[in-house]
Structure 1
């Protein structure tokens, strides 16, 4: 449900606009506009937690309502006849859709973090990320093919039909056997008043707990590392995709299919395996190992930038990159979940995700600016170098802590 519009807007349409000759800055601005609602997503977290109780399932009322509104927003895309000439209208339509989709995403995350045991979060995140990947594959590769062969109207129509199907499917799924399909009114609602009061904490208390949870030293340090990696990832992939289409003259549909189509099954299997591994060895350990792999790939692959004209190399790099973001997310999300406080877990995790989305949007915009001055390979090496620097600092810090712990142990009487 979330992946299909994301793949369609941020990959299929973005590559389509690049293929039609728009500048890197124009495409980057389009991506940034579509992503703005995801940046301010944190606003909805406290509201969702404040009014989480519902007889149809806690927080489910938010999910169903926003999914239906996202479907209506998708229908507005059918009014677009020429996406290039009507870029402002296209951006506005996707912007409105993103507002509802961001609330739906926050509601799903809050529901998941409140019902999933900590020792199972790696696997659950893997399944959630896997579903998101399948949606992106369908939105980027599938809808890009429809866009390429039949036009924007039929691509938007297909997306809208899929969103309606998933909305109805979500409505009929019960979280608990005692959940109702119909909201409570009048006398029936009075019977649920006590439970609702207990489950819906006050807004003042929510914001206080949210602020304290996010501003702890551990939270700032942990998220700062994660934010840097997401920003570098976004900068590289936007620059690389633009380079393939604009400089090497690849068909935009070919790039979209490679980004979201080929290798999706393998990526899904690796992601699910990564979730199990995160639960076994620990999410923080897996996160560090993925960061090492990402920086090694960025530095080595971008050092071969002069050879990107050879398609087998470029295709291999694009497919391998499909593993990077999902694996890092599988490791990073449980780490962020572990920082969240009870009763405000939805708000706090939503705030983290809003900042992650900001990193993606900022990366897209920065890549558009950077491409005016630097080549894609240079940008990629710089991103890899930044991540490598953080990895070195983390390893040195952990080594120092082990030494201090060993020193304290040996000095015991």
Structure 2
């Protein structure tokens, strides 16, 4: 055995099933930290400082924007990498390090709650780095996990991400209220640096290098499937996306995260201006909800989706979201009641995570083997388009009448629930699942 194979604490990911799932769990927690900061803690910080919904929407939109561009990240990662360190690990290390350094630099600016432009710039920069980390982990899942593990990974992804959001929202909400933005950003940077250390300790496959200057070599499987030209990558991805089963799931990906915009933008206003809660009180509610729903998704969500069926889970949870939002729209006189806030926080969290868990295996099943990582990334990018779309709806309608906001997004959820009937036509057969298998033993791509 070579020195490279002997070095380090862990066996290569392809030889350690537990470590594969643990890696997804750990990095999705790290991914959730900036999300908890900029989707929950910073909006509450701004709302308590007197910012309007339009100003909060600007910061949330700046953080959400890079997530709509993830499809570009996927193409770049599939086209360019450093194979002696594995297909994805160089990107994992680089993006995690960039996340930490961005937060470190942000702490030097020490922005106030009313400095919308500065907060927006910080949000955009850290989000851009986070999307590259997200795509690199998603691509790793598609690259090295078999079909059974991918189903487990769906629940782990959103469960761990929600745990990261929960912990970040609670800790950052407290730090922002009592110490301000600089110590908060510095604490986040220190935590994210731990992810860099963990990424360095990993290897994807045997004989690969841990550092660029270490001994080791590219794995033959990676050399076989690496596409070294843009045209084959673009052409194969284009036709894979136009497949019938692919087109069927796209609308659900677009609609799934639209209600999250209410959570991001209006809920902090509801908490601080209608109910009268402080920043830390609201982030405490949101983090507890995120923690509970994250654990639910992690331990029960995947099993429930397998038991009930992906289509039924989507229909049920889209319907429940519609009932919740339209119900809140009809009772504006009760918006000062904390029960309404709790219902929105817990409902959007729980129903949203179940929709997300059901969508993950659907998206993986229809990926073409030769461009599976890029195609899956495109699906995830499409899913994140819903958040800025929702933010635009919230910004446009809440200033006119918040009831209109709830009613509009509730109507979209009704349309999504009814559209699940189309999934029967796009159902993936066992034969198709076998043909699109893209785990450890995936067939080489045609160049």
C-alpha distance in structure 2 between counterparts of 1:399 and 1:35, whole Å: 32
Decide which of 275, 285, 290 is 2:317's aligned counterpart: 290
When the two chains are superposed, the root-mean-square deviation of aligned CA atoms in Å is 2.7
Tell me if 1:349 matches 2:376: yes
1:199 matched to which residue of 2? 225
Decide which of 93, 98, 123 is 1:64's aligned counterpart: 93
1:381-396 pair list within 5 angstroms? 381-395=407-421
Aligned residues: 397
Q: Is the 8 A contact 2:206 2:219 kept in 1?
A: no
1:212 matched to which residue of 2? 239
C-alpha distance in structure 1 between counterparts of 2:267 and 2:46, whole Å: 15
SS in 1 for 2:369: coil
Q: Indicate the structure whose relative CO is greater, using CA pairs within 8 Å and at least 6 residues apart.
A: 1
C-alpha distance in structure 2 between counterparts of 1:57 and 1:253, whole Å: 42
Q: Deviations over 1:260-316 (max 9, x none)?
A: 234613541244311122234432332222222222322334433322222234324
Q: Deviations over 1:35-78 (max 9, x none)?
A: 22222221121221123563333311110111111111111111
Cα distance change of structure 1 residues 282 and 113 upon mapping to structure 2, 3 Å threshold: farther
Decide which of 242, 254, 258 is 2:281's aligned counterpart: 254
Tell me if 1:2 matches 2:31: yes
1:168 matched to which residue of 2? 197
SS in 2 for 1:180: coil
C-alpha distance in structure 1 between counterparts of 2:423 and 2:124, whole Å: 42
Q: Is the 8 A contact 1:7 1:137 kept in 2?
A: yes
Q: Is the 8 A contact 1:53 1:196 kept in 2?
A: no
Q: Is the 8 A contact 1:62 1:103 kept in 2?
A: yes
SS in 2 for 1:261: helix
Question: 1:176 Cα shift?
Answer: 3.9
Question: 1:114 Cα shift?
Answer: 2.2
Give the TM-score, by structure 2 length: 0.81
Cα distance change of structure 1 residues 19 and 167 upon mapping to structure 2, 3 Å threshold: same
2:295 matched to which residue of 1? 268
SS in 2 for 1:335: helix
1:92-103 pair list within 5 angstroms? 92-103=121-132
1:242 matched to which residue of 2? 269
Unaligned regions of 5+ residues in structure 1, if any?
403-413
Q: Is the 8 A contact 1:4 1:135 kept in 2?
A: yes
User: Would you identify which runs of 4 or more consecutive aligned residues in structure 1 move more than 6 Å?
Assistant: 398-402
Cα distance change of structure 1 residues 283 and 399 upon mapping to structure 2, 3 Å threshold: closer
Unaligned regions of 5+ residues in structure 2, if any?
1-29, 428-447
1:407 matched to which residue of 2? none
Which deviates the most, 289-298 or 7-16?
289-298
Q: Is the 8 A contact 1:120 1:279 kept in 2?
A: no
Q: Deviations over 1:139-177 (max 9, x none)?
A: 211111111112211111110110011211222133345
C-alpha distance in structure 1 between counterparts of 2:219 and 2:263, whole Å: 51
Give the TM-score, by structure 1 length: 0.87
Decide which of 70, 94, 111 is 2:140's aligned counterpart: 111
1:405 matched to which residue of 2? none
Which deviates the most, 261-270 or 161-170?
261-270
Cα distance change of structure 1 residues 394 and 156 upon mapping to structure 2, 3 Å threshold: closer
2:341 matched to which residue of 1? 314
1:219-234 pair list within 5 angstroms? 219-234=246-261
C-alpha distance in structure 1 between counterparts of 2:151 and 2:163, whole Å: 18
Question: 1:399 Cα shift?
Answer: 8.9
C-alpha distance in structure 1 between counterparts of 2:219 and 2:337, whole Å: 66
C-alpha distance in structure 2 between counterparts of 1:210 and 1:86, whole Å: 41
C-alpha distance in structure 2 between counterparts of 1:393 and 1:36, whole Å: 26
C-alpha distance in structure 2 between counterparts of 1:350 and 1:343, whole Å: 14
Q: Is the 8 A contact 1:49 1:343 kept in 2?
A: no
Which deviates the most, 73-82 or 153-162?
73-82
